[in-house]
């Protein structure tokens, strides 16, 4: 295979209000024709900037290539004029973005945007371009492509738009396709479909793919070679099997260990990389990873290691050769240091919070009884409320004291709505919610206020969930101010104690949220949630927006707090492996219905509902040797305004029969404490 | 302590984090700082003019030097003289009081009324929002100056009535801006977070919604200051203002307009005074907004 893209010693700087910041230093990598290379690393590691530098899109963001070369098929890109680049972009190299919704121009039809690319690069008349557009959309798996060509981006779902984006990227037959987190914004089921599509198209079009991802599972599934970046530098480069088999850089090892897999020991403490990735303005001297590295020595602090060939791969670590043996032996190498060193990862540390037999027979902690939430469609006062969106439709379940109940499902399944109804942030249209035996639905404002002490919430977006004009002390102090009469000094002591209990420096109480990293902000969010010592916490996608390494830190913290404070969690998530790791029991929702509920292990070992099976099958495995056995679920979740008749899943179910289309299955016991709503459970 | 120890002694919370050292762009910074100081000086001077005009003006504003009619700027008359032989600099200095009064009072009144309506409409939503907004839209269909004219005509000429007329015509603008801000802040997750904590609605409004919404009003208000002075003068020009011995800047401007070809200084200097006032208030307003935003003050 010939080398298609060759980047040598690329250094990129950005002109910002804080001065000139170096975003990439000395990045060298190459991609051969027809190869898939994955670029992995935490956010802030420079993955996206690398891809944008190849396309020279950094030109539009005050970025400058201040050193090194980028050669595509022998042509030097860094020296090209804007016009020459325009002729290459879209034709020889094309890009797919993370947010398909944002990457399309909303005022033009899908068709006109695809045609524009083809006509711009003089690859045919408008008529030919139309025909090619239809063909491409069909190939990208979009039903009725002719009709879709005439539709606007807003009329298509996220998954369909990402397919259309791929079709557009392929319009001129590029040799290099850059995909920047192409599935991060999509549901797990759709993600599996898109990845499969990319694989097929790569073969067909014989193009090279540079896939940027933070998900090691995706990297394992897709990549021939993997490049690991950290703080603007390449730290390791190896084939997928080499990298997963024996990581040579401590950072790579840390990334691999932070992944929760379906066979990890549930409830155990997850190994994580402590600390956070440094910002560009305060890059450490020497090896940039040394402040977080458990193996750092004086040499690492002083001298920056070059990217060297070790055992047939490249690694930028002074001790890559020596460490390789240690790193590979399966020990938890990226140790937790400092205050958490007292809790190393050992089998003895596994938390068993299984309820004692017979424990759940008395009145459940939270009892959700036939709860419904309908949103009326159409706002006109004159219209009769004949149609409505049934976000949650007749769901009953119980949450036991002290357990973690996981709730999973694609977006649109109603899981977040259900969670908010428990906290009375949304009013149920019907049914009842009982908290410790008391009905919440009929409470007065004052009574509700009192109950809120016991029920708190952790949000998906930690930054968005804090008033940006408030100091941390005010944010954490808000529940105390509302619910407890405390004087200023008492409050201050409580706040500092809370900060310390979530692993933050108590001196940081006077800082503002924007001065913290994502993981630290989520710690602040948790501190606020536990300030009143609640008994129940709703964690709505609480770790979904965080990097894997940080995700592990937060999960560990949540589990520690659960033990210490005897908390009950409702953990809503779309990352199934994460939900499995933390939950005692899991409920699966689909289109407003609870379709399966079982103990965590049982659900993953013997999924009964075909939807659950599909969800599990669509999880990418962080093991390059493992082929995906079962296909995920085809198609996309239908609109909740007109759910399918009978079993709502029948449109996508592989085992559908005539009965499924007509008769709605009731939740029935499959095994002991395992219920599923399916006529023909597997 | 060896490097290794120093690394390992770290607790979780000692993560190297965004303390974002102020890598400052010193040139940019000093230019903007200089502008703000200059604006402050200009504003101070204008306020001094309004408070103690006698200390600053070389002549009294009513003194007619019949031997020096329509003299160009220079010599003993910094801004020249007008058709009565009055020293324009002195008239401008004395006129600052009414100009400032009209400007500040009508902006303040407009901001208060518009802000209150916008806040109510935005936070309450639903039917209240609909009714208030339709009313404001009706108000907006009438051109500002026409509305002010009608009000001033109905209420009779007086300084207070000019303020009422001018501020009322600015109300819909302020209301709409604040309403939009509040509606977007209302949907942010931290409002939901406050609800989930159990914070009462009024407290959410006062502590979360309002502080995050009013910044654009500040900027609008500083720009509105100039418009208000001009509109006040427009009313005076049409004879609906107060007939006084000392004309305000707007009145001076409209009086001098007719002489632009023969005596350019008559309109130019009052006009410059208005421009300088608006510019400096605007600069200070911008700085103030940045100061009040925690993101700008640190790092």
Fold designation for B42-292: MetI-like fold (1.10.3720)
Give this prediction's pTM.
0.82
- In this predicted structure, what is the pLDDT of residue A355? 43
Classify residue A358 by its DSSP letter: T
pLDDT over threshold 50, residue A585: yes
What the block records as the tokens of B119 is: 């806040």
Q: Show the domains of chain A with their CATH numbers.
A: 3-223 (3.40.50.300), 239-345 (no CATH), 364-440+585-621+628-676 (3.40.50.300)
Residue B32's contacts (CB-CB under 8 Å, 6 or more residues apart) are none
A/B interface, count of CB pairs below 8 Å: 151
Average pLDDT over residues A504-530: 91
CA distance A554 to chain B (A): 12
What tens digit of pLDDT does each residue of A556-572 get? 999 999 999 999 999 99
Indicate whether A326 pLDDT > 80. no
Strand, coil or helix: what is A28?
Answer: strand
Which candidate in A250, A273, A276, A478 is best for mutational testing of the B interface (most B CBs within 10 A)? Answer: A478
DSSP, collapsed to helix, strand or coil, labels residue A644 as: coil
pLDDT digit string, tens, across residues B68-84: 888 888 888 888 888 88
Q: What ipTM goes with this model?
A: 0.78
Q: Where are the domains of chain B?
A: 42-292
- Token code pair at residue A635: 């198609």
In terms of Cα–Cα distance, which of A592, A648, A676 is closest to A414? A592
Q: Which two tokens stand for residue B47?
A: 């306020």
Does position A375 have pLDDT exceeding 70, yes or no?
A: yes
The whole-angstrom distance between A43's CA and the closest CA on chain B is 14
Question: How far apart, in whole angstroms, are the C-alpha atoms of residue A529 and residue A454?
Answer: 10
Q: Residue A204, exposed/middle/buried by CB under 10 A (0-12, 13-18, 19+)?
A: exposed
Structure tokens given for A421:
């109804």
Q: Is the pLDDT of residue B26 over 60?
A: no
Question: pLDDT digit string (tens) for B27-64?
Answer: 556 777 889 999 999 999 999 999 999 898 888 888 88
Instruction: Please indicate whether, in this complex, the C-beta atoms of B17 and A520 are within 8 angstroms of each other.
Output: yes
Nearest to A279 among B20, B194, B212 (CB): B20
Q: Which percentage of chain A shows pLDDT scores above 70?
A: 92
- Residues for chain A: how many in total? 682
3-state secondary structure chain B: CCHHHHHHCCCHHHCCCCCCCCCCCHHHHHHHHHHHHHHHHHHHHHHHHHHCHHHHCCCCCCCCCCCCCCCCCECCECCCECCCCCEHHHHHHHHHHHHHHHHHHHHHHHHHHHHHHHHHHHHHCHHHHHHHHHHHHHHHHCCHHHHHHHHHHHHCCCHHHHHHHHHHHHHHHHHHHHHHHHHHHHCCHHHHHHHHHCCCHHHHHHHHHCCCCCHHHHHHHHHHHHHHHHHHHHHHHCCCCCCCCCCCHHHHHHHHHCCCCCCCHHHHHHHHHHHHHHHHHHHHHHHHHHHHCHHHHCC
Q: What is the pLDDT of residues A62-107, one digit of tens each?
A: 888 998 999 998 889 888 888 888 888 888 999 998 888 888 998 9
- Cα A185 from Cα A632, distance rounded (Å): 17
Chain B: give the shortest CA distance to residue A672, in Å: 36
HEC string of B44-79 equals: HHHHHHHHCHHHHCCCCCCCCCCCCCCCCCECCECC
For residues A55-61, average pLDDT? 87
**Region A332-346: what's the mean pLDDT?**
36
Residue of A56, A339, A5 lying closest to B13 (CA atoms): A339
In this predicted structure, which of A54-58, A283-287, A545-549 has the lowest mean pLDDT? A545-549
Q: Do A338 and B200 touch (CB under 8 A)?
A: no
Structure-token pair, residue A672: 């002991």
What is the reported pLDDT for A16? 80
pLDDT digits (tens, 9 = 90+) for A154-184: 888 888 999 999 999 998 889 999 999 998 8
CA distances from A436 to A91, A362, A408, A673 (A): 63, 10, 24, 21
Residue A609 CB neighbour total at 10 angstroms:
27
């Amino acid at each position: 295979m010939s080398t298609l893209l060759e980047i040598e010693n690329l250094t990129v700087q950005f002109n910002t209000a804080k001065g000139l910041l170096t975003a990439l230093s000395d990045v060298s990598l190459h991609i051969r024709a027809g190869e898939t290379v994955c670029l992995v690393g935490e956010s802030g590691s420079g993955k996206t900037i690398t891809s944008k530098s190849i396309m020279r899109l950094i030109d539009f963001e005050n970025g400058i290539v201040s050193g090194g070369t980028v050669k595509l098929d022998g042509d030097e890109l860094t020296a090209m004029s804007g016009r020459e680049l325009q002729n290459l972009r879209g034709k020889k190299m094309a890009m797919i973005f993370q947010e398909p919704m944002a990457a399309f121009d909303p005022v033009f039809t899908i068709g006109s945007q695809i045609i524009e690319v083809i006509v711009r690069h003089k690859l045919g008349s408008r008529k030919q371009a139309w025909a090619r557009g239809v063909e491409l959309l069909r190939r990208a798996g979009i039903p009725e492509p002719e009709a879709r060509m005439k539709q606007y981006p807003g009329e298509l779902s996220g998954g369909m738009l990402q397919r259309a984006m791929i079709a557009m990227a392929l319009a001129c037959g590029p040799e290099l396709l850059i995909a920047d987190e192409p599935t991060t914004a999509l549901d797990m089921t759709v993600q599996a479909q898109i990845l499969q599509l990319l694989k097929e198209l790569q073969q067909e079009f014989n193009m090279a793919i540079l896939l940027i991802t933070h998900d090691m599972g995706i990297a394992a599934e897709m990549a021939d070679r993997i490049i690991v970046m950290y703080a603007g530098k390449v730290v390791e480069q190896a084939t997928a099997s080499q990298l997963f088999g024996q990581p040579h850089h401590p950072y790579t090892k840390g990334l691999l260990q932070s992944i929760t897999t379906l066979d990890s020991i549930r409830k155990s403490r997850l190994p994580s990389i402590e600390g956070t990735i440094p910002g560009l303005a305060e890059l450490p001297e020497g090896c940039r990873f040394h402040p977080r590295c458990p193996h750092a020595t004086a040499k690492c602090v002083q001298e920056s290691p070059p990217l060297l060939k070790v055992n047939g791969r490249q690694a930028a670590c002074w001790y890559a050769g020596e460490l390789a043996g240690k790193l590979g032996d399966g020990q938890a190498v990226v140790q937790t240091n400092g205050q958490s060193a007292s809790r190393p990862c050992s089998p003895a540390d596994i938390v068993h919070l299984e309820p004692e037999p017979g424990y759940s027979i008395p009145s459940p902690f939270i009892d959700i009884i036939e709860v419904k939430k309908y949103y009326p469609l159409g706002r006109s006062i004159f219209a009769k409320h004949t149609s409505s969106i049934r976000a949650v439709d007749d769901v009953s379940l119980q949450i036991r004291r002290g357990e973690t109940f996981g709730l999973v499902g694609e977006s649109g399944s109603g899981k977040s709505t259900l969670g908010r109804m428990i906290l009375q942030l949304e009013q149920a249209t019907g049914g009842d919610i009982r908290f410790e035996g008391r009905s919440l639905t009929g409470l007065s404002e004052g009574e509700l206020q009192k109950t809120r002490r016991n029920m708190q919430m952790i949000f998906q977006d930690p930054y968005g969930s804090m008033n940006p004009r408030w100091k941390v002390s005010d944010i954490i102090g808000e529940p105390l101010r509302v619910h407890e009469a405390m004087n200023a000094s008492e409050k201050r002591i409580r706040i500092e104690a809370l900060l310390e209990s979530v692993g933050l420096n108590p001196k940081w109480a006077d800082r503002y949220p924007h001065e913290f990293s994502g993981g630290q902000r989520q710690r602040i969010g948790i501190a606020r949630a536990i300030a009143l010592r609640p008994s129940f916490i709703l964690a709505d996608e609480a770790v979904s927006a965080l990097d894997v390494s940080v995700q592990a830190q937060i999960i560990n913290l949540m589990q520690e707090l659960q033990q210490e404070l005897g908390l009950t969690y409702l953990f809503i998530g779309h990352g199934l492996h994460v939900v499995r790791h933390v939950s005692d029991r899991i409920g699966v929702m689909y289109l407003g219905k609870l379709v399966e509920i079982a103990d965590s292990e049982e659900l993953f070992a013997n999924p009964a509902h075909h939807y659950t099976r599909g969800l599990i099958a669509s999880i990418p495995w962080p093991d390059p040797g493992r082929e995906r056995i079962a296909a995920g679920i085809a198609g996309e979740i239908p609109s909740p305004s007109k759910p399918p008749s009978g079993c709502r899943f029948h449109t996508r179910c592989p085992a559908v029969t005539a009965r499924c289309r007509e008769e709605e299955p009731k939740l029935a016991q499959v095994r002991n404490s395992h219920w599923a709503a399916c006529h023909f459970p597997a | 302590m060896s490097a290794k120890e120093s690394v390992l002694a770290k607790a979780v919370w000692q993560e190297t984090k965004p303390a974002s050292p102020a890598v400052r762009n010193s040139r940019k910074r000093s230019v903007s700082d200089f502008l703000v100081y200059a604006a402050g000086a200009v504003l101070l001077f204008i306020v001094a003019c309004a408070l103690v005009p006698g200390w600053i003006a070389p002549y009294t504003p009513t003194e007619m030097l019949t031997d020096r009619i329509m003299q160009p700027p220079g010599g003993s008359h910094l801004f020249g003289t007008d058709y009565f032989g009055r020293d324009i600099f002195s008239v401008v200095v004395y006129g600052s009081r009414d100009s400032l009064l009209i400007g500040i009072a009508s902006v303040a009144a407009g901001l208060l009324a518009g802000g209150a309506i916008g806040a109510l409409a935005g936070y309450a939503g639903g039917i209240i929002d609909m009714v208030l907004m339709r009313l404001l839209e009706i108000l907006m269909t009438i051109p500002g100056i026409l509305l002010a004219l009608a009000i001033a005509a109905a209420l009779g000429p007086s300084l207070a009535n000019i303020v009422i007329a001018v501020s009322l015509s600015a109300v819909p603008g302020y209301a709409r801006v604040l309403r939009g801000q509040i509606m977007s802040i209302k949907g942010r997750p931290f409002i939901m977070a406050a609800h989930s904590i159990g914070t009462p609605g009024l407290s959410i409004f006062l502590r979360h919604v309002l502080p995050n919404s009013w910044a654009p009003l500040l900027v609008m208000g500083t720009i509105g200051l100039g418009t208000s002075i001009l509109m006040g003068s427009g009313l005076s020009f049409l004879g609906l203002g107060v007939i006084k011995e000392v004309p305000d800047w707007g009145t001076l401007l409209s009086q001098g307009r007719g002489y632009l070809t023969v005596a350019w200084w008559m309109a130019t200097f009052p006009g410059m005074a208005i421009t300088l006032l608006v510019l400096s208030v605007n600069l200070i307003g911008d700085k103030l907004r940045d100061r009040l935003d925690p993101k700008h003050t640190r790092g």
